[in-house]
Each structure stands twice: as C-alpha cells, then as structure tokens.
Amino acid sequence: MHEWALAEAVVNSAIKMAQEKKLSQVRILSLKVGEVQQIDMEVFDYAIKEISKGTILENSEIKYTIFPAKLLCNNCGNEWSYMESFESLTEEEREAIHFIPETIHVYIKCPKCKSPDFEIKEGRGVFIEEIT
C-alpha cells in the first residue's frame, strides 16, 4: 500500500505548515485528492490518522475533496474525463498510473486525435488545501 507513503508526505507537510502558522493544534486539514491516482481512501485515511498520532495533527478533522480528473489534449484541444478512458485500462496499467500518474501517456491517447500529448488538467495527485 503505497498510500502510506503519500499519507506520510501529507502529515509531514501539514505539520510544517501548522508550525509556520503557529498552530498548537490542528482542527481541520482539507485535502484535495485527484482521481487519476485512484487512491484507496480507506487505507489513506487510516494511514494519515496512524501517522498523526502523537503530533499536533492527532484528532484533527480530515476533509477530503475528490477531484474528477480532466485531460486536455495539447495537440487538438479536446478535453475529456479520465474516467472515459479508465474503463479500457488493464489492472496492470491502472496500477502503473496509480504509482506514477504521468505514465498515463503510455496507456491513454486522446479519444479525438489519438495523440498521447495531452495534460492532466485537473485531478492529478494529493494536495493540501487548507489547514486550521
């Protein structure tokens, strides 16, 4: 479960941000989670809570906003949703994108012009939106 590695990054960053804001206790941590990585939210949430134990993040409320992934073709301008292409991916391909989202260029092409030269316009990784 590499969700633990991502969780650790989040906790590590959040503590630093809280310290910079001179918070003695974090009340709410708001995270944006992109759809592309298909993160196992149960594991991710559990991991964040485990790793937070004994820190100023313990007992804070963790809010998640799942962001739908939009892909934008650099070649023809077409915009489409990752989920349209997701169905046709094998287990192994999904796993690769789960680890390194940019490998999406190996496995997906623009449905309109067939180019792999597109960008993940929205819904790429995990971001910290707010901490209070």
Partner 1 sequence: MIHDPRTSIIDKRLENVKNIIAIGSGKGGVGKSTFSSLLSLFLNKKGYKVGLLDLDIYGPSTHLILNAEDKTPQEEYGLKPVDINGIEFMSIIYFTQNKPLIMRGKELTDTILEIFAITRWNNLDYLIIDMPPGMGEVLLDLIKFIKNLQFIVITNPTKIAMETVEKLIRFLKESNYPILGLVENMKNKDGTFVKEKCKELNVKYLGHISF
Closest CA to 45 of 33, 36, 35: 33
Q: What is the largest CA-CA distance in the chain?
A: 53
The whole-angstrom separation of Cα 64 and Cα 47 is: 14
We find the least distance from the C-beta atom of residue 84 to Zn ion, in angstroms, to be 13
Ramachandran region, residue 22 (left: φ > 0; alpha: ψ -120 to 50; beta: rest): left
Q: Which of 120, 110, 121, 106 is nearest to 76 (CA)?
A: 110
Is 76 labelled a binding residue?
Answer: yes
Tell the smallest beta-carbon distance from residue 82 to Zn ion (Å). 15
The verdict on 94 binding Ni ion (CB under 5 A) reads: no
Ligand-binding site membership of 113 (annotated): yes
- Which residues have a Cβ under 8 Å from the Cβ of 74 and sit 6 or more positions away? 115, 117, 118, 119
Which residue lies nearer to partner 1 by CB, 23 or 128? 128
Minimum CB distance to partner 1, residue 6 (Å): 7
Site string for partner 1, 89-118 (x = CB under 8 A): ---x---x--xxxxx-xx-------xxxx-
Binding site for Zn ion (CB under 5 A): 73, 75-76, 78, 110, 112-113, 115
When CB distances are held under 5 to 8 angstroms depending on the partner's kind, the choice from partner 1, Ni ion, Zn ion, none that residue 70 binds is: none
Stretch that binds partner 1, among 3-11, 55-63, 64-72, 79-87 (CB under 8 A): 3-11
